[in-house]
Structure formats: C-alpha cells, structure tokens
Structure 1
Amino acid sequence: MSVKAGLPPIARADARLFVLGSLPGDASLAARRYYAHPTNQFWRLLGAAIGEELQLLEYEQRLERLAERRIGLWDVIASANRPGSLDQAIRLAEHNRIEHLLHDFPDLRAIAFNGGTAAASGRKLVGSQSEIALVDLPSSSAANTRSFAEKAAAWAVLSQFL
C-alpha cells in the first residue's frame, strides 16, 4: 500500500481561522488542490458561512478570497497509508504539527475541524490548554449523508471568527 502525503498549508500570516481536514482524498491529491472532488461540499459550505459563493470561482480566486477573509487551510494528517479516499481506511497516520499554528499565527482565533477524524486527532494535537476556539464541523464529504442545510447550519458558526 502506498503512502499518501497531504498538501502544504495555505494561509497568510494574519490568518484568524484555520479549517483543517483529515487527509485530502485522491481527487484532491491528484489535482494538488484542497477539496477538488466535485461532490465535496466544502466550497459551498464555507462560502455559505462567509456569505460568498466560493464554488463559482476558479480555485486560485477561492484561495485569494480565503486569504482576504483571513482563513487558512490545512490538514491534521501529513501522510498515511490509505486505499481510496475514506477516512475510515487511514492507517499509520503521521500528523502535521498543527499545535504550531497557535504560535505561528498570532491573530488565530479558531481552528475548525472538517469531520470527525480531523476533530478526534486534531483536538489531541492542539491540546485543551488552548485559548482559541476549537470547532467540530460535520464533514463536507459526500460520504457524510446529512443534508446540505443541516451541514450549513453547523458551518455557519465560522462567521463569528472572521
């Protein structure tokens, strides 16, 4: 089984919010873009939370909008063995040093975890002594069968950190 390595963090130095996934799926890794699979609802959900239709923009424009809104993207897992794209298949995960976000981004107000796998590992890595908000979000993956409206209601909390 081959090791899949994630993508580098994307953020300006003044980021106030980071959204962390688990490990990009195969479509995202192949495209070298966050949330590249067409059925993943990430761009619609985040766009709804910040009042912009991000899914209508080209990828580079999406990243520019996130930078303007002081939002960073990264993943909890740096690399892992994983057949396919499902989080349940992740084995032998190596984690990113996300605890460094607290020091490297002095304006950081919140870290949001996209899905249960990201939240479970991410909360352990950040620790409970953190003075920033830790937000667990329902996964934007199409594998999460909750309705878009239900997911969007949960994701709406992100607007308070911008």
Structure 2
Amino acid sequence: MSNRISSFAPVISKTSKILILGSVPGVKSLEMQQYYAHPQNQFWRIIFELLGKDFSGDYETRIETIRKNNIALWDVIDTCEREGSLDTKIRNEEHNDITKILNDHPSISVIFCNGQKSFKNLKKILGEESEIPVFVLPSTSPLHTISFDKKLKEWEIIKHFYEET
C-alpha cells in the first residue's frame, strides 16, 4: 500500500482549554485541506449548535469560531497509509506528539475524541491513565450512521467544560 497521507497542523492557541482529536483527515478533507470538509460530516454543525452560534460554511469563520471559544483541533495520527476514508483501512500509522502539545499548552483541561479510532490511538500514546480527562464521542463522520440528534446529545458533554471556560 503506498497511499501515505498526513494530517494537518493543529488549530490551537495559548488559551485553548478543550482539545478535540480526530483520527486522520478523510479524502475530501485532504482534497480541500480543511478539517471535516466532507459536506455530510456533522462536526461543524454540532460545534456551532453547541456554541449557540449561527452555522457558517466558511472555513475561516469556522476556525475563528473555535479559536475564540478556546477549542483546539487536531488528529491523533500524523501519517498513515489508507485507501479511501475508512478508519478501518488505516495501516502503518505514526502518531502526532500529543504529549508535547499538552505540555506546550497547559491550559488544555479536557480531551474529546471524535470517534473510537482516535480514542484507541490516544490511549496508545497517553496510556490507560491520563492526567487530563478524556472522553470518547460518537464519530461525526457520515459513515457513523446514528442520527444527528443522537450525536448532538452525546456531544453536549462539551458544554459542561465550555461553560467553565
């Protein structure tokens, strides 16, 4: 397999308090060079709903919105081999340096994993016991077929940490 792909740089600031970790960008995201670019991925819709903001399709507005709300965004996997967008097709992954980003940004107080793959890989990096609370949330991918309302309800846990910021 020679389809080696790479994740994007983190979206983070010195005031970030919440870190949301995906696995690795899908085909559409890589093509657009944007986090969660697939039009059926519900990530941005969920985030705007949780923040009580009017939804925007503009990527720069999306990034500015999470930055202003002290939310950081990154992927657990730095590079891997994968055909298509399925996490189950990921092979030979190399991880991002999550420990370094946490050390460099001590304001981060909680991590949310967007799906099981990012959670399982994060556990490989941080071990079973993390000093920072880690929550696994249902994937926002269109391939994870539970309803938007069900995903939103589970993602609402972020509001408990957001309200503390």
Give the TM-score taking structure 2 as reference length: 0.93
> Which runs of no fewer than 5 residues in structure 2 stay unpaired?
none
CA distance in 1, matches of 2:109, 2:54: 23
Q: What is the aligned-residue RMSD (CA, Å)?
A: 1.2
Aligned residue number for residue 125 of structure 2: 125
> Which runs of no fewer than 5 residues in structure 1 stay unpaired?
none
CA distance in 1, matches of 2:23, 2:59: 20
CA distance in 2, matches of 1:20, 1:52: 21
Amino acid at match of 2:90: I
Per-residue CA deviations over 1:100-156 (Å, capped at 9, x if unaligned) read: 232111111111100010011112212344332101000000000111111001100
Residues 22 and 118 in structure 1, CA contact (< 8 A), matched pair in contact too:
yes
CA distance in 1, matches of 2:34, 2:95: 19
CA distance in 1, matches of 2:57, 2:148: 20
What SS does structure 1 have at the residue aligned with 2:78? strand
CA shift for structure 1 position 14: 1.2
Aligned residue number for residue 64 of structure 1: 64
Give the TM-score taking structure 1 as reference length: 0.94
CA shift for structure 1 position 48: 2.0
Amino acid at match of 1:46: I
How high is the sequence identity, in percent, across the aligned residues? 38
Amino acid at match of 1:79: T
Any runs of at least 4 consecutive aligned residues in structure 1 with deviations exceeding 4 A, and if so which? none
CA shift for structure 1 position 57: 4.1
